[in-house]
Structure 1
């Protein structure tokens, strides 16, 4: 239950967030200097989660930015001039891109190889560098910790990958998402040759994250009381702040760094217990933790976000993917506490009705029922 003290504390956070100018969370404490060479950057998408951070950082670095999207989302108040082009990749409408040239194209929203093929028809030969946002879900075997970029990717088992649409993807995300990402990567190389950068993030978190997957944890820690925790606290967790990912993408463009990279963090291993302790430091919450086994959660069909059991299973390696290559290519990370602080300030600046029901995790009622059954089984 939220106490009066918590309400006052979070009201202050929300007020602080509301008082900050647009993109106050985009830069954090790090100064931004001008790039050695200004680039003409095309961003496909640009108004979702990480796109606005890419735009802001690119402008601060002195680059020229063009956005291409459907124009369905309201654009933020950009801190500089941004060209807006509209079309619809669902219908193959890329006319606004014809006859234009850019130094770099960053493809944010694509999960369909046909989208990459269509982009290639218009942009191949007209952009010097193509950066594609993929996913660690593209790997064929997620059970082994320490996956590197050399690991095999998922195989598509459908009839015609180029006939897949957003509708067919949403209807069978579990079987199609990874294979279609892998095929989109292959199509990118086919269309744009060696001047391609493939970036494979895991869980992207921080301000502007509308999924609430990571938000569930600091939000729950802040509430206090008895808290259900999966596993024994030693399971690995990997997250990356959306701002760190966005800014690194711009730096990859500046350095013309090609190849494939796992964009996961933090820099050093993070456990479930360490994650919760970090949430305590930032939120001031002091819950008591009751650890339950992954077997119990699987039996009860409970899915907790971000957490991946370190026991054997098809996804056990997704919390321990190798990020050595990305770090070698300049990926840097904000402090964990900074990510949590900024995330919660942003979240508590949202409308009350939006905060009232998280989009991930379990409710307090569901948690209480699970804890009651767990204690009964333990004879407590």
Structure 2
């Protein structure tokens, strides 16, 4: 018997990959979304059931449907989770619910300190991470603990990433020339390929595997990332490593201005990219090579016509050139 799966929020980034994987597995797939993001996606698949609903107001379209599993990619606060649970209980009280939360749900990330799923969560209801933590709490109180899984991904990367964070690096390195490389070459970088995440969360749902898991690929250094970008794209780029303090003084915004860069000494976020993935690996999470993630993200980005409109506000070429000039000047003193 085919598994009946509900994907909450299915036309964005992670959702589309979850649906593609569900189709490949032959699941009976239903999507609930607002129809605001790429409403024609999967239009060529009549076997997919499309339901319209807004988790902030009305999701009555779910009321009479029966599902074996729920993959929740769109829950952002406690009210949404409670509203959804109340509707699903009418006909799908036996479904296993996999909620995609975030590493940001943890309370703090002290510099130099590793952490696992036992670390305390954020408090309050202000900000993305706190709201994700409250959504987790709401699920735990609204749905049987033996029928739920909470997944906390690191930065999700890969084809169709709307943020452009990871995508920035293969595109920038491919352009060649002098590339501003942030922080120490050995600084840690964590991510999860969206396709590895999609396949794993469906397996968690199918196997009804409970618990809380950090979804994080094996850690690589920033130097490894940039060198692999250079190798995969065939670039002749040369990397100029720049100290955290110089970048901050130059007005470069961590994580956004130069994506994936976080100053290692930052007392609140210096340890952000030090999450343990041991529990997730034990539960079956597997990873494709970094080179494959870079290559396929790069190929998608090159073909994406409106990519610049979607990207985060990274530093522009002029700003990068000024910092590179500053580094050259300092090296001649």
In the alignment, structure 1 segments of 5+ residues that lack a partner are 1-36, 162-174
1:155-170 paired onto structure 2 within 5 Å? 155-156=123-124, 161=125
Match of residue 82 from structure 1: 48
1:59-208 paired onto structure 2 within 5 Å? 59-72=23-36, 73-77=38-42, 81-90=47-56, 92-124=57-89, 126-127=92-93, 128-144=95-111, 145-156=113-124, 161=125, 175-194=126-145, 195-208=147-160
Match of residue 297 from structure 1: 247
CA distance in 2, matches of 1:39, 1:334: 26
Instruction: After superposition, give the CA deviation of every residue in 1:304-352 in whole Å (9 maximum; x if it has no partner).
Output: 111223334211112121011111111111111111111111111112x
CA distance in 1, matches of 2:23, 2:235: 38
1:1-380 paired onto structure 2 within 5 Å? 38-72=2-36, 73-77=38-42, 81-90=47-56, 92-124=57-89, 126-127=92-93, 128-144=95-111, 145-156=113-124, 161=125, 175-194=126-145, 195-265=147-217, 267=218, 269-303=219-253, 304-351=258-305, 354-355=307-308, 358-380=311-333
Contact 2:162-2:311 within 8 A present in 1 as well = no
Contact 1:113-1:184 within 8 A present in 2 as well = yes
In the alignment, structure 2 segments of 5+ residues that lack a partner are none
| TM-score normalised by the chain length of structure 2 | 0.92
Note the C-alpha offset of 1:379. Answer: 4.2
Contact 2:162-2:310 within 8 A present in 1 as well = no
Note the C-alpha offset of 1:249. Answer: 0.7
Divergent runs of 4+, >6 A: none
The SS at the match of 2:68 is strand
Q: How many aligned residue pairs are there?
A: 323
CA distance in 1, matches of 2:309, 2:160: 17
CA RMSD of aligned residues (A): 1.8
The SS at the match of 2:271 is helix
Contact 2:109-2:272 within 8 A present in 1 as well = yes
1:106 to 1:354, Cα distance in 2 relative to 1, 3 A? closer
